[in-house]
Chain A
Amino acid sequence: MAEVLLAIEDLKAAYGDAKALHGVSLTLNKGETLALIGSNGAGKSTLLKCICGLVSNKSGKIGFKGEEISSLLANEIVKRGIALVPEGRRLFPSLSVEENLVLGGKVARKGEWNLNAIYGLFPILKEKRHQPSTALSGGQQQMVAIGRALMSNPELLLLDELSLGLAPIVIKDIYDLLPRIVGGGMSAILVEQDVTRALNSASHFMCLQEGRVSLQGAPHDHSREAITRAYFGT
């Protein structure tokens, strides 16, 4: 039987008075990639932020490798093996490319990812390692954001809107590398506006609509129409 990595039960979250999640549950096994889809404001990013500890106003259970982590702070959760590639990349502008990567490895969990492995995956970053991260193109910045998250050797990688603001050719390059990135037993949750791409990259999907799960399962178990209905709530 597959080993459960992440088990979320009845997760509710809010920003002030605005409720963002109304009781979301999900289970993710080791080595699986889950595509999280839904329209803008459906609660996808909030769910990722809850998992990695960036949303404090929440209730429900988040179990990771059997440990309850919902009350832990973000800097503790990363040590347990969860890393986020945030929406909009959010690199540290006053740090160089290499410094961004090195900081990602501060937690120093054991694993295959280190500076050399990241430079092997994205050779362009080695050339630009001493440049300020702001001097890079959008696609290169996304590579740094992915590399920075991998440097902590996570067991669960949360990828938030990888393709946002990037040229189609760059998006294709990054998605071509995805199997290599999440290979080796790593699990991933992929939030993506491009539904087709997300479903093609994942073994399971979950569709959120206004903070509730509207559909979930394996992509081939549901018709295109059913997924569209769940997405738009029609």
Chain B
Amino acid sequence: MEWVNAIIQGILVGGLYALFAAGLSLIFGVMRLVNIAHGDFIVAGSYLAWILVRATGLHPLVSLILVIPIAAIFGYVLQMVIFNRTLGKDILPPLLVSFGLSVILQNMLLETFTADSRKLDAGTLETGSFSILPGVAIGYFPLLMFGTAIAVIAGLQYMFYHTALGRSFRATSDDKEIALLMGLDNRKVYAAAMALCLAVVALAGVFLAIRSNFDPFMGPGRLIFGFEAVIIGGLGNLWGTLVGGVILGVAQGLGAEIDPGWQVLAGHIAFLAVLAFRPRGLFPRMT
């Protein structure tokens, strides 16, 4: 039964990894930007929630009402002021700028909040669970996280394929020049995509901060999990990203079951196995 439990907990954690990955996938899909600072934005979202919770006494989940819009506005401005200047035929400048942002963010967080680890307290939600089988319990919080991930992926999927905003994302991604001729300002389209990405990032950051301790140096690790989920699922496929997150979570759960030291390693091995046998991921976008 321990193994069944490990798989189920792995699936639920996979939801969080899918949230890490969804924004990464969206940004790469729309503007071919590999955002190295993505993980640091997640951690910055955790700190933003921590500040707001301390200042207002709000429940961490309620703080999302403020955290998400602040992150989205930050994303819009960041894209307009910094990333749009770096985007062009060469993919290297935005990559380097995002790497620089990652270093700056980590050090700013370290200067401001010290290296002490923090955590958001969500009260009984964190510990509450119900039993489905003897020895297998499902926590309310992991279930909420997983349900939210499904809702976010479904929402992004709907937005991408059934709304005017999604149409402008796809058109700009297909052919920036012709999209301009349709009246679409690609700078604003990219900024809208970054705003959306950071909204999801902030949500992931708050879940991360409730689930475990966080510190200024956690970003790169979350970035790797996000990357692995995107690549396992197949670039450009949002539901694939969810499956990628789940596979990563389950692999880590099973690894931890064998030996606690194997948790992260097992995830990387699963990722490498997919890269070796299905280099385009399990569900590559059909084009």
Contacts and interface: CB of A to CB of B under 8 A. Distances in A.
Interface in A170-216: none
Interface stretch (A9-17, A38-46, A77-85, A136-144): A77-85
Contacts of A103: 167-168, 171, 179, 182, 184
B180 A92 contact: no
B91 interface: no
Given A106-B183, A152-B183, A92 B177 contact: no
A99 interface: yes
A106 B184 contact: yes
Contacts, number: 61
Interface residues of B, number: 18
Interface string B173-205: 111011111111100000000000000000000
A99 B183 contact: no
A103 B175 CA distance: 13
A95 interface: yes
A73 B179 CA distance: 12
Given A90-B178, A94-B174, A78 B167 contact: no
A217 interface: no
Nearest to A109: B183
A92 B183 contact: no
A107 interface: yes
Nearest to B178: A90
Nearest to A149: B181
B183 A90 contact: no
A120 interface: no
A94 B180 contact: no
Nearest to A79: B183
A107 B287 contact: no
Contact of A54 (B164, B177, B182): B177
A76 to B, nearest CB: 8
B170 interface: yes
A94 B173 contact: yes
A74 B181 contact: yes
A78 B177 CA distance: 13
Contacts of A92: 170-171, 174-175, 178-179
Contacts of A86: 178, 181
B183 A94 contact: no
B171 A83 contact: no
B174 A93 contact: yes
Contacts of B175: 90, 92
Contacts of B170: 92, 94-95
Interface string A42-84: 0000000000111000000000000000000111001100011
B171 A75 contact: no
Interface string A86-128: 1000101111000100111011000000000000000000000
9 contacts: A79-B183, A84-B181, A86-B178, A90-B175, A92-B171, A92-B174, A94-B173, A148-B182, A152-B183
Interface of A: 52-54, 73-75, 78-79, 83-84, 86, 90, 92-95, 99, 102-104, 106-107, 148, 152
Interface of B: 164, 167-168, 170-171, 173-175, 177-185, 287
